[in-house]
Amino acid sequence: MKADELEIREWIAAHRDDMVRDLMDWVRIPSVSRADLCDPEKKAPYGPECRRMLDHALARLSAEGFRTEDHDGYCGSAWYGDAPEELGFAAHLDVVPEGFGWIYAPYEPVEKDGFIIGRGCDDNKSSAIIGLYLMKYLKEHQIRMKKSFRLMMGCAEETGMADFRHYLASGGQVPEFSIIADGGFPVCCAQKGGWNMDISIPAGKDILDFSAGNVRNAIPDRAEMVLNLSCEDALSALKDLEKLEIIPDDRGVRVISHGKGGHAAHPEDSDNAVLVLANALIRSGLAERLDLSGISFIAETFRTPYGDGMGFACKDEISGYLTSNIGVVRFEAGTIRALLDIRYPVSAPIMEMTDAFRAYLSEHKVIVNDLDIEKPFYIDPETPIVKTFQKIYLDVTGDDTAPYSMGGGTYSRVIPNGITFGGGLQAPRPDFLPEGHGSCHGPDEVKHIDTWLRAFEIYLKCILELCA
Ligand SMILES: [Zn+2]
């Protein structure tokens, strides 16, 4: 091992406990992004906890002697170096709601067997802490910079990235290139585009209630419908079908379906409960006997999660298949209100597709309440900065995986030339947690400390190479 490499490892080892302590401090703030609690006077567009989190982070950075700037509570930045050209490093300080099923307390983090446990300890406060310590390293070593290093921290990544959208729309400037430290290693060179829709489908008069899911980007594992039908009739029609519960209801019968939940970008391992229910009603013959026109529409249009029923199944080499998810369903005044999460490949002709789909919806008397398109992201893997990242990743880890593509969206979709690169490295599974625990949006979110420090080393080497 070279002398400077040894020094870096020793420095990291000497700062391990401080990094863990800082990360735990940050996790104690339950910074769920709440635009509904916006307070413009206090510059808190995402509620008091995000305001407190951003204050805490900026105060910590300025106590270390770095120049900081609060971008009106939407996001914040800190700098090391005076060079006008900058390299960005972006992370988000907001977290997803804690949800249910935690064994540990979500906002009282603990360290156990080399892991930290708590909401946000991985996604994405661990990367913000890496940013802070990268700056500390550069400062302690008085590294002279030909490009300044800029840490950028947002407060609404998990709720649609309005934080940096607002900052950019109001004239904020971002570096020529930025690392988005909110994915896996190595470099993500392509992200599918996002196509979100909010539609109202005529239900049919025998549907009295219908609900499933809470967020657009999750595949619902449970759906419930109340039908204008006796419990006996429902039981005899649906008796042979699996994954259903049939219970009496004041108004008729309540049918509950069970599917398998998951992330909208990965329908391959899941089973959408809305479709389980719709298909059961069709197979039982009830969709013909009763007026359930909305159900027939859903069963046909979303018959696969790849857009086949919508008429635009497609894929490309760079970013893979189009995926579609019906994530939230509510019953509203005789209509089925549905939120769709569609992710389209980089090369798909999105304008033609949305026009065609609008025409199809209008034929079926479906109303479009809202339609929002997020552009896909693509960077040529041969770009010099991508090659530098890949090479350093290979040097540190010995892993020669090529740049990858993903269906999920990070700040890459919003921050120009924001390249998603890390900070997640393949980590062991915490054996003290049951199956289904430990993931970044699930209960008992964990961060594995050793691989976290490894990621720090990769980033530090990239910055020394590009900026020093
Ligand atoms: Zn994240």
Q: Output the pTM of the full model.
A: 0.84
- Let me know whether 292 and 398 are in one domain: no
Task: Tell whether the model's pLDDT for residue 60 goes beyond 90.
Answer: yes
* Span 117-133, pLDDT tens digits: 999 999 999 999 999 99
* Span 62-81, pLDDT tens digits: 999 999 999 999 999 999 99
Distance 209 CA to ligand 1 centre (A): 34
Q: Give the residue from 342, 373, 404 where a domain finishes.
A: 373
Do 280 and 242 contact (CB within 8 A), yes or no? no
Distance 10 CA to ligand 1 centre (A): 29
Distance 94 CA to ligand 1 centre (A): 8
Residue ranges with CB less than 5 Å from ion ligand 1: 123-124, 182
d(CA 323, CA 305): 6
Q: What is the pLDDT of residue 91?
A: 98
- Let me know whether 179 and 312 are in one domain: no
Q: What is the pLDDT of residue 202?
A: 98
In order, the DSSP letters of 107-126 are TS-EEETTEEESTTTTTTHH
Q: Quick check: bond before 443 cis, omega within 30? A: no
- Let me know whether 210 and 131 are in one domain: no
Distance 366 CA to ligand 1 centre (A): 34
* Span 201-221, pLDDT tens digits: 999 999 999 999 988 988 999
Distance 259 CA to ligand 1 centre (A): 26
Distance 283 CA to ligand 1 centre (A): 40
Task: Tell whether the model's pLDDT for residue 137 goes beyond 90.
Answer: yes
d(CA 395, CA 393): 6
Distance 291 CA to ligand 1 centre (A): 43
Distance 442 CA to ligand 1 centre (A): 13
- Let me know whether 117 and 154 are in one domain: yes
CATH number at residue 279: 3.30.70.360
Mean pLDDT in residue range 271-279: 96
Q: Give the residue from 349, 373, 397 where a domain finishes.
A: 373
- Let me know whether 314 and 399 are in one domain: no
- Let me know whether 31 and 141 are in one domain: yes
Distance 409 CA to ligand 1 centre (A): 9
Distance 91 CA to ligand 1 centre (A): 8
Distance 220 CA to ligand 1 centre (A): 21
Q: What is the pLDDT of residue 163?
A: 98
* Span 146-182, pLDDT tens digits: 999 999 999 999 988 999 999 999 999 999 999 999 9
- Let me know whether 397 and 357 are in one domain: no
- Let me know whether 366 and 410 are in one domain: no
Distance 137 CA to ligand 1 centre (A): 24
Q: Give the residue from 348, 373, 398 where a domain finishes.
A: 373
Domain that holds residue 28: 3-192+377-467
| Cα separation values, 126 from 7, 66, 147, 234, Å | 22, 19, 24, 51
CATH number at residue 186: 3.40.630.10
Q: What is the pLDDT of residue 161?
A: 94
Distance 183 CA to ligand 1 centre (A): 7
Distance 92 CA to ligand 1 centre (A): 7
Q: In the chain, how many domains are there?
A: 2
Distance 112 CA to ligand 1 centre (A): 23
Angle at 359 between CA 357 and CA 361, to 5 degrees: 70
- Let me know whether 144 and 225 are in one domain: no
Distance 411 CA to ligand 1 centre (A): 9
Q: What is the pLDDT of residue 1?
A: 61
- Let me know whether 102 and 151 are in one domain: yes
Distance 158 CA to ligand 1 centre (A): 7
Distance 124 CA to ligand 1 centre (A): 5
- Let me know whether 256 and 321 are in one domain: yes
- Let me know whether 211 and 107 are in one domain: no
Distance 410 CA to ligand 1 centre (A): 7
Distance 119 CA to ligand 1 centre (A): 11
Distance 176 CA to ligand 1 centre (A): 22
Q: What is the pLDDT of residue 217?
A: 86
* Span 321-375, pLDDT tens digits: 999 999 999 999 999 999 999 999 999 999 999 999 999 999 999 999 999 998 8
Side-chain-side CA neighbours of residue 356 (13 Å) = 11
Angle at 408 between CA 86 and CA 371, to 5 degrees: 100
Residues of the chain with pLDDT > 90: what percent?
90
Residues of the chain with pLDDT > 70: what percent?
100
Distance 254 CA to ligand 1 centre (A): 37
Do 401 and 424 contact (CB within 8 A), yes or no? no
Distance 322 CA to ligand 1 centre (A): 22
d(CA 414, CA 284): 46
Q: What is the average pLDDT score of the chain? A: 95
